Chains A and B, each alone.
Chain A
């Protein structure tokens, strides 16, 4: 069966520090991968998605970047965090448009 792993679960980082969140999927190949951010009291904001290795689509221009160095690995990064980057970050995968997403357990990022 397919599983998705996301880490770390919580992270407290100072303003201006770098960020790296990792997400991996097991039990499938060539998944569509996604990074979402969920701010308190708000819905889900799609940040990046990828349909293949090295293919990254950005939905919102911002302080973050994403990479997909391997088929089942998706990394969210920042060179310098801002206070506004605080939030709950969710990784998800899908085999295709009609299947829905499977989400990871999320990373709570607090920038101080």
Chain B
């Protein structure tokens, strides 16, 4: 069965520091992979997605993610975090069916 794991429930970084949010998935083939961001009380916004090709994908707001098949991972990165990046981040896996599996989320706190 498909599954998604986000091992870090909370992460705190200082503004200007680099960021990496972890995502591991379980699926037999290469799935569709997504990262979403959710600000408090809002819906989720798609940051980036991967389904084939270059394993390093660029997204909005300066985020990028790298697909590593050998590690079944799709970690989200940003070189320099801004205070406005404080939010909750969700990794999701799709496998060619109509619905996706979401991780439980990582809440990011940014220190001034």
Determine which of B32, B46, B99 lies in contact with A98 in the assembled complex, contact meaning CB atoms within 8 Å: B32
A82 interface residue (CB < 8 Å to B): no
Chain B count of residues within 8 A CB distance of the other chain:
24
Q: A12 to chain B: closest CB distance in Å?
A: 15
- Asked if B102 contacts A98 (CB within 8 A), the reply is no
Q: Count of A-B contacts with CB under 8 A?
A: 57
Bits for B24-66, please: 1 = Cβ < 8 Å to A, else 0: 0000000010101000011111100101000000000000000
Residues of chain B with a CB closer than 8 A to A59's CB:
99
Q: Which chain B residue lies CB-closest to A57? A: B98
Bound Cα distance A23, B94 (Å) = 23
A83 interface residue (CB < 8 Å to B): no
Bound Cα distance A49, B97 (Å) = 11
**Chain B positions 80-97 with a Cβ under 8 Å from a chain A Cβ:** 90, 92, 94-97
Determine which of B34, B46, B99, B105 lies in contact with A43 in the assembled complex, contact meaning CB atoms within 8 Å: B105
Bound Cα distance A42, B102 (Å) = 10
- Asked if B43 contacts A90 (CB within 8 A), the reply is yes
A51 interface residue (CB < 8 Å to B): yes
- Asked if B99 contacts A49 (CB within 8 A), the reply is yes
Bound Cα distance A32, B96 (Å) = 13
Q: Which chain B residue lies CB-closest to A103? A: B43
- Asked if A97 contacts B97 (CB within 8 A), the reply is yes
Bound Cα distance A102, B100 (Å) = 13
Q: A88 to chain B: closest CB distance in Å?
A: 8
**Contacts A/B (CB < 8 Å), 25 sampled:** A32-B98, A43-B90, A43-B103, A44-B44, A44-B90, A44-B102, A46-B99, A49-B99, A57-B98, A59-B99, A94-B98, A97-B95, A97-B96, A97-B97, A98-B51, A100-B36, A100-B46, A100-B94, A101-B100, A103-B36, A103-B44, A104-B43, A105-B43, A106-B41, A106-B42
